[in-house]
Structure 1
């Protein structure tokens, strides 16, 4: 089956084909015909099943090739990252049309968003808080909305957005076409659907048993020492066939520390966590999607926006709290029918968490395998070349090559500047002297290092080679 078979206009079929999207996923096959007909839909599907195009293509097509200016479609999402992701997908769908899509979310300046609204954007993708904010200032009118979508409704319930959702519904016409998507269907979401939707059709695109993990993901669970984790991760990142990799940490501090550590080891890593500005998070995600960075370190809060098809590995730096979080994390890989590898580290104090996850997901592995960076089974499990160390090889000795290739990853993350200065000082002082390890160690800690005023430098270097006077002259 193709998108043409489902009734999608040729210009959108061509736009999708330009990105290699040819065959619709199961949820798209189910939702697109109903969405095109104007049927209200409750779609039960988790992230990564293709639901964005499932609702996106119908709403774009129903607007027409050249829609009148003004907001006619409202897509409400729980997080900023998901707003960006959905916007990108809808911009692809509308790339051969005059339709304009705008993202509305907090953490970003109002001016650009307001400017796009005033310019006549027809599709708005946004988070509840900023949408209500602009609507309250009369900068966003929802009076002409005829297509409304709630994406990841259960997440919005978790974040306490349901009252805001009801306020948004109240500002739209009662005759609108509505689609709601949610991975689970808790009572409040069902009540919301009954109140604001017109005889919706319920479509379920997930496995009947949510506890069964995806067969196309290889799950590896290791009991690793906290001081050895970075070394283990660095070796995993050199596995054969390793592509884009997502590493989950429990805290923002751990994410910031790990991105600095991996950068220092020569890897192209970026981070997405709550201590970064929205602009920094978007820049990191864009670099990851474009392949400029192939390692993304994230906390759970940011995970919902990571919708990248070519992630080959997911690493849980710390074990998630429960089975649902585990499935959500590892679901970043093995998408669109591809295979993936999920590696989870379990600390000694977290063995009880693994016991619960193991039981819930029926892994049959009550005891994680004790694993170190030198363990032979680590290399075998992940196809890591023999002899691999936890640091990428860098060009030796030659200063310019070392600076260009070695320091860039760390300095891009705001780290690595101090080591660069230290190396520079060592090169300056060692001119004309032996360059062995003992000399470098001495120079690294010598008082006054980094001072180089020309005339006095040679005399100081000669003194440093032997015994130093107790009171040197000025």
Structure 2
């Protein structure tokens, strides 16, 4: 229904159930709209119409869907040799930038990385003739619609726009009205399939206890005719825990969730597609558009958030006309949420049956052999496992956990090697604002450093201790201007006492008085010592009276 309208160049809104082939519904018209060298050789286009910049753009919400759409378009465009490149986060920028420089016809990408490269002028969108928004309702739920609008504003005004989604909320309809020109709304469904879910998918809803769920899942995975299975969890921690428990029970299980690096996520998906792993435990990042052949069972380990998530989860099985089984384990706390989903989808499972891992009806309805336990027998452990699939080095940038921490530590070590040896800083010792040189680090008998004798002698109005004369040598007057010590102002009973001015030898020399004659005793040597500061008032007065007067 979509192909004739899309090939004519009109805008299209495509709405259909999951698993009905929406990718090729927009992929084939997209590949026909680009101009490649084969068209020039066949005479369908002129040489000046060729360009190395993208001619078509597909915007998808998740990285897993980005890689899948890219592979589908590469397969469909192999005959015409159409160049298709995936642009998404979690990988290094350099390979994606190099691919854009070499030339590309179709770009498939997630909104964040597309905006990033377009802002750096590494991605040119001026020649885009066709835009496709895949899973637009999921981009609305993830908060990508503002980024999508920024991307659409960078595109040429004359273009073809196609919007595809399984559900069509009001915000997506508003986006279509703003940016699309007279779109044709195509809603495809089979005449005998009136419900919201696919009729070929068998649904089972059980009320289960959270502590019994791992045992139930291990027994369900041993049902007869079970091929590949996908287990959906609501949280990343639960997905990692269930995958680890199933591995301990002997199952070849892998995990896909947001806490894993992009390399580990792609490793698990490749192992699942190649059959090395037959159980994939994942969060809702793998609930959109993931198409793997041979998926027979989908298990909702935890109840989904809403009816749209439920539809996309169980849509991983029963695709392209095949049959499948969808099992939902609802905890007691999730019964109100499930009843809302049941009412919205008009299902008949409003009151799920209380079920345990030993319940007879569980074995009967799902075809589990009698006597099955929660550990896979060793004779049936034939899968190679997740370790058999190599992890591709994607040059991941940043991120949480070990994938970002190791790169940061190695970068710091490289910087330490390049940094020159640091010279230790030497402290400059100062006293009274003037630098002090030549101190010895030994302490004197009175508790002061040996270097302090210079300052002490200067305060006493004599030469430094290193140049002091012997005890029996005459003391000569000081030639340099000595530093006058600061005299404390002493008071007695609250009234200021008379202060005795201290006159120095240079001051008296300036006034014309003669210097006193040298005295042959040790009194000057005693005065050269630092004076002790006494605090009692009577001792201070007696000390002043004992001072020799001038003349």
Normalized against structure 2, the TM-score is what?
0.64
Kindly state the Cα deviation for residue 169 of structure 1 after the two structures are TM-superposed.
1.6
Task: Out of 360-369 and 78-87, give the one that drifted further.
Answer: 360-369
Partner of 2:348: 364
Partner of 1:182: 165
The aligned length equals 377
Equivalent of 2:243 in 235, 259, 263: 259
Partner of 1:384: 368
Deviation readout 1:191-235 (Å, 9 max, x if unpaired): 322332222211112579986432211111112222221121111
Contact 1:44 1:206 in 2 (8 A): no
Deviation readout 1:284-340 (Å, 9 max, x if unpaired): 112112222111111123322422243111101111123232222111111111111
**Mapping of residues 139-178 of structure 1, within 5 Å:** 139-178=122-161
Equivalent of 2:19 in 20, 41, 48: 48
Kindly state the Cα deviation for residue 250 of structure 1 after the two structures are TM-superposed.
1.5
Partner of 1:418: none
Secondary structure of the structure 2 residue equivalent to 1:156: helix
The structure that has the greater radius of gyration is: 2
Matched, 1:105 2:76: no
Partner of 1:31: 2
Measure, in 2, the Cα distance between the counterparts of 1:207 and 1:153: 23
Measure, in 1, the Cα distance between the counterparts of 2:129 and 2:303: 43
Equivalent of 1:293 in 277, 283, 306: 277
Unaligned 5+ runs, structure 2: 38-49, 390-551
Contact 1:266 1:406 in 2 (8 A): no
Contact 2:254 2:386 in 1 (8 A): no
Matched, 1:230 2:211: no
Normalized against structure 1, the TM-score is what?
0.74
Deviation readout 1:426-470 (Å, 9 max, x if unpaired): xxxxxxxxxxxxxxxxxxxxxxxxxxxxxxxxxxxxxxxxxxxxx
Distance 1:390 1:361, change over 3 A: same
Distance 1:132 1:46, change over 3 A: farther
**Mapping of residues 224-373 of structure 1, within 5 Å:** 224-373=208-357
Secondary structure of the structure 2 residue equivalent to 1:341: strand
Measure, in 2, the Cα distance between the counterparts of 1:211 and 1:360: 11
Contact 2:276 2:384 in 1 (8 A): no
Deviation readout 1:327-375 (Å, 9 max, x if unpaired): 2211111111111111111112222223223333333333222222222
Measure, in 2, the Cα distance between the counterparts of 1:286 and 1:170: 36
Kindly state the Cα deviation for residue 407 of structure 1 after the two structures are TM-superposed.
11
Partner of 1:92: 75
Equivalent of 2:62 in 68, 79, 89: 79
Question: Whose helix fraction is larger, Structure 1's or Structure 2's?
Answer: 1
Secondary structure of the structure 2 residue equivalent to 1:234: helix
Unaligned 5+ runs, structure 1: 1-29, 396-401, 414-474
